[in-house]
Amino acid sequence: MPAPITIRLDPITRIEGHMSVETVVDDGVVKEARVAGTLFRGFEMMMIGHSPLDVIQYAQRFCGVCPTAHAIASAQALDAALGIVPTENGRVIRNLVGGANWIQSHLLHFYTLSALDYFPGPYTPPFIPRFEGDYRLPRALNEDLLNHYIMALSMRLKAHELSAVFSGKMPHSASIVPGGVTIQPTVDKVTTFLWRLRELRDFIDNYYLPDVIAVARVYQDGLEQGRGPDRLLTYGSYDLSTDPDVTKRDRLLRMGRLVAGKPQDFAPDKITEEVRNSWYTDAGPRVPTEGRTVPMRGKDGAYSWVKSPRYDGEVYEVGPTARVLCTALSGESPDMTAITDMVLSELHAGPEVFHSTIGRHLARAIETKFVADAMSRWIMEFRLGEPVCADFSIPDRASGMGLWCAPRGALGHWIDIADGKVSRYQAIVPTTWNCSPRDDRGQPGPLEQALEGIPVRDQDNPIEILRVVHSYDPCVACAIHVLDARGNERGAFRAC
């Protein structure tokens, strides 16, 4: 039998940020995987000492693909710290701005970032070079999808326009503030939003969802492979109410936790971060409000800038699969149940397929339709002439937590204010969960687990690895931004 080989992919392209993946392949099957984030930025340290009102603009710049999610999570943390809740107009407009970018992000992810794993593009850069994989789509479908790839570029642009109607500009919106938003709803904005949304909903219904189903039919093995941990976590998204405690809010996509398919309670204080295999000085598991991070690029055994968030010490996957299953299993969302049943019956499959490589794409397409449909109702909830933003002042000392979902999964922001300034800022983002390295107990992160067992037909064209990686929609720039107020001494450096 041939000896095991190591396949190292650096850089992983068609993701957001800088990342590498190393796999050990034995007898054509991945035995072990290590996922590494390769860029450190240190955002939270930059916010220390700032006016708390600056953090929404800083936090958005974690990521140019999902800035609105960071803006909203950051605004929620501020809402809590300032002791306010958004006005009704503020709640609705935040949902619309976030929803529009959600559509943008998911269209970008399926067509621009992932689709080329399943069908080849034209023979011209940037579509070449490429891995010569087992592209299996029938020729006619291949050509259709290539056309849809092109159409999706302009649809994605339209989704950014949709968001900008109420966010000012995209990426990096201008209108989200504590207490709501700065923009007044007017009938002209409502009308243009409605009609742009209508075009996007047509595309989602008639192209995006059918395209993902068509790929799933051909790549049946992708519905079985790439299983992550059987533990799923989501904070939910899109507030339908404004309870001061975010964990008590009614949300379109529901907050929750699933273990082996069974719903469990969720308590945010069970979230910790571990750094045994990350390039930071060892700190032991720490809750985000006591996070401590001192960079140490050459640490023995460490291999990533990404930390390892865990819930009650266990590995959890976050993202579309968690959201779709938590919402569908709640039994309180007939729309989600209907869309999910429709997709599963098309594929003659059960809900377990959502745990797979293609299943994550299916879940993303399902929730895109679910959110876009809900947006068409929300846009009519405007209260003309009523306030868009609650009054507030900055307290001397306060703390707040924002829990939301970025398109990639559960997103938490935590702020501490002292002397009226930011004294600590911490964010745990979806890719930190999904692309985490091994934790203090040696448990591999979700993507590392999903890669184990994947067959690789040709070590020079390991497209099967890319398919699994892309199914998680990694956003590594988001994932590596952490550094805490006290962690500013220079870490020891050893050339590795």
| In the complex, minimum distance from the CB of residue 353 to other proteins, in angstroms, rounded to a whole number | 26
User: Does residue 131 interact with other proteins by CB under 8 A?
Assistant: yes
Q: Which is nearer to other proteins, 86 or 446 (CB)?
A: 86
Beta-strand ranges (E) seen in 221-274 are 231-234, 237-239, 251-253, 256-259, 262-264, 271-274
| Near other proteins by CB under 8 A: residue from 51, 191, 206, 459 | 51
Angle, CA 18 vertex, CA 94 and CA 409 arms, to 5°: 35
User: Does residue 64 interact with other proteins by CB under 8 A?
Assistant: yes
CA 48/CA 56 separation, integer angstroms:
13
CA distances from 435 to 219, 234, 301, 446, 468 (A): 24, 16, 17, 6, 12
CA 158/CA 349 separation, integer angstroms:
33
| Near other proteins by CB under 8 A: residue from 39, 240, 267, 338 | 39
- In the structure encoding, which two tokens stand for residue 414, read together? 């935590």
Applying CB under 8 A, the span of 112-120, 229-237, 245-253, 355-363 interacting with other proteins comes to: 112-120
CA distances from 249 to 209, 327, 369 (A): 29, 14, 22
User: Does residue 160 interact with other proteins by CB under 8 A?
Assistant: yes
| In the complex, minimum distance from the CB of residue 256 to other proteins, in angstroms, rounded to a whole number | 30
Rounded-to-10 torsion of CA 148, 340, 100, 235? -140
| Near other proteins by CB under 8 A: residue from 4, 83, 128, 243 | 128
| Near other proteins by CB under 8 A: residue from 69, 73, 75, 181 | 181
| Near other proteins by CB under 8 A: residue from 86, 98, 99, 171 | 171
Q: Which is nearer to other proteins, 295 or 412 (CB)?
A: 295
User: Does residue 166 interact with other proteins by CB under 8 A?
Assistant: yes
For 337, half-sphere exposure in the C-beta direction (CA atoms, 13 angstrom radius) is 6
CA 395/CA 416 separation, integer angstroms:
11
Site map (CB under 8 A) of other proteins, residues 255-294, x = contact: ----------------------------------------
Within residues 345-404, the interface with other proteins by CB under 8 A covers 387-389, 391, 393-394
Q: Which is nearer to other proteins, 38 or 330 (CB)?
A: 38
User: Does residue 311 interact with other proteins by CB under 8 A?
Assistant: no
Q: Which is nearer to other proteins, 347 or 418 (CB)?
A: 418
| In the complex, minimum distance from the CB of residue 129 to other proteins, in angstroms, rounded to a whole number | 4
Q: Give the three-state DSSP class for 137.
A: coil
- Are 311 and 322 contacting, i.e. CB atoms less than 8 angstroms apart? no
User: Does residue 169 interact with other proteins by CB under 8 A?
Assistant: yes
User: Does residue 198 interact with other proteins by CB under 8 A?
Assistant: no
- In the structure encoding, which two tokens stand for residue 187, read together? 């009938």
In which element (H, E) is residue 30 found? strand 29-37
Applying CB under 8 A, the span of 105-113, 222-230, 247-255, 371-379 interacting with other proteins comes to: 105-113
Pick from 190, 175, 165, 193: nearest CA to 389: 175
CA distances from 455 to 223, 450, 473 (A): 14, 12, 21
- Are 421 and 49 contacting, i.e. CB atoms less than 8 angstroms apart? yes
Applying CB under 8 A, the span of 50-58, 241-249, 261-269, 334-342 interacting with other proteins comes to: 50-58
| Near other proteins by CB under 8 A: residue from 98, 226, 236, 295 | 295
Q: Which is nearer to other proteins, 175 or 327 (CB)?
A: 175
User: Does residue 201 interact with other proteins by CB under 8 A?
Assistant: no
User: Does residue 136 interact with other proteins by CB under 8 A?
Assistant: no
Helix residue ranges, H only, 333-438: 334-347, 357-378, 430-434
User: Does residue 441 interact with other proteins by CB under 8 A?
Assistant: no
CA 79/CA 44 separation, integer angstroms:
18
Q: Which is nearer to other proteins, 128 or 267 (CB)?
A: 128
| In the complex, minimum distance from the CB of residue 65 to other proteins, in angstroms, rounded to a whole number | 6
- Are 21 and 34 contacting, i.e. CB atoms less than 8 angstroms apart? yes
| In the complex, minimum distance from the CB of residue 388 to other proteins, in angstroms, rounded to a whole number | 4
- In the structure encoding, which two tokens stand for residue 350, read together? 């059960």
CA 12/CA 26 separation, integer angstroms:
21
CA 149/CA 142 separation, integer angstroms:
10
Applying CB under 8 A, the span of 182-190, 217-225, 235-243, 370-378 interacting with other proteins comes to: 182-190
The size of the interface with other proteins (CB under 8 A), counted in residues, is 93
Number of other residues whose CB lies within 10 A of the CB of residue 103: 28
Amino acid letter, 421:
K
| Near other proteins by CB under 8 A: residue from 30, 137, 170, 447 | 170
Applying CB under 8 A, the span of 26-34, 107-115, 246-254, 448-456 interacting with other proteins comes to: 107-115
Pick from 322, 138, 132, 136: nearest CA to 220: 136
CA 126/CA 131 separation, integer angstroms:
13
| Near other proteins by CB under 8 A: residue from 5, 13, 384, 457 | 13
User: Does residue 165 interact with other proteins by CB under 8 A?
Assistant: yes
User: Does residue 459 interact with other proteins by CB under 8 A?
Assistant: no
